[in-house]
């Protein structure tokens, strides 16, 4: 299963979610992280706490890298660059599922919708027969504020695929690359588990 994190909005939580999902899956599945962002944010991940191999793609053909990793790992999580590069689009084309993180702000929502448009084009572009990649917006860094609730409601009514699971604003997520997956039973661990399970359900549907 190949899952990409994508949005043209910088700082919406792509790398953080990529690390957290990979760390979660690595507890039970052979999992790899692919850093397809030239910023190479994932290089800060500490392998002694995370236990997920991080691959950088320096090739001209990210599709080949993804296919190689998918042959070797049960889960491949791809962190893409926060802007539309040919490489990001190629990574999306090779994904089974694309998560579009969206912070609870109108600016972020607007960018998330642009990402949805791109995914619609890719999924409808006929390159793949199985109408993949599937995709959905996921609310990240959510807080108990009126604007968080409003953005969630706007997403629900927008008609775009939208994950029920949401990710809160939590220090545990900031710490995951350096101290590892949040402790079992913590709210942060539960949020990632619910997101991963919903993603599986959507892929099976």
Ligand X SMILES: Nc1ncnc2c1ncn2[C@@H]1O[C@H](COP(=O)(O)OP(=O)(O)OP(=O)(O)O)[C@@H](O)[C@H]1O
Residues engaged in binding Mg ion (CB under 5 A): 14-15, 41
Contact between 82 and ligand X by CB under 6 A: the answer reads yes
Helix (H, G, I), strand (E, B) or coil at 111: helix
Distance CA 151, CA 92 (A): 25
The radius of gyration of the chain's CA atoms, rounded to the nearest angstrom, is 16
The answer for residues whose C-beta is within 8 angstroms of residue 126's C-beta and 6 or more apart is none
140 binds, among ligand X, Mg ion, none (CB under 5 to 8 A by kind): ligand X
CA 140 to chain centre: 11
The one among 4, 31, 41, 95 contacting ligand X by CB under 6 A: 41
Nearer to ligand X, 30 or 46 (CB): 46
The answer to whether residue 32 forms part of the interface with ligand X (CB under 6 A) is no
Contact letters for ligand X, residues 130-169 (x by CB under 6 A): ----------xx-------------------------x-x
CB 130 → Mg ion: shortest distance, Å? 28
Whole-angstrom distance, CA of residue 20 vs CA of residue 6: 15
Give residue for tokens 């969630």. 152
Token pair recorded at residue 68: 């190689």
The contact set with ligand X (CB under 6 A) reads 10-16, 37, 39, 41, 82, 140-141, 167, 169-170, 173-174
């Amino acid at each position: 299963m190949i899952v990409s994190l994508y949005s043209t909005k910088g700082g919406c939580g792509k790398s953080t979610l990529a690390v957290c999902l990979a760390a979660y899956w690595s507890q039970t599945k052979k999992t790899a992280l692919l850093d397809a962002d030239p910023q190479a944010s994932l290089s800060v991940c500490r392998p002694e706490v995370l236990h997920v191999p991080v691959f950088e793609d320096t090739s001209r053909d990210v599709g080949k890298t993804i296919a190689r990793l998918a042959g070797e790992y049960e889960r491949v999580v791809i962190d893409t660059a926060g802007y539309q590069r040919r490489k990001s689009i190629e990574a999306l084309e090779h994904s089974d599922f694309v998560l579009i993180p969206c912070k609870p702000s109108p600016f972020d929502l607007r960018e998330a919708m642009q990402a949805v448009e791109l995914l619609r084009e890719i999924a409808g572009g006929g390159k793949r027969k199985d109408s993949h990649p599937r995709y959905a917006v996921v609310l990240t860094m959510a807080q108990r504020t009126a604007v968080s609730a409003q953005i969630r409601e706007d997403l629900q009514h927008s008609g775009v695929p939208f994950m029920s699971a949401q990710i809160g604003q939590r220090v545990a997520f900031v710490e995951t690359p350096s101290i590892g997956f949040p402790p079992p039973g913590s709210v942060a661990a539960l949020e990632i588990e619910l997101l991963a399970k919903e993603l599986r359900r959507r892929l099976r549907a």
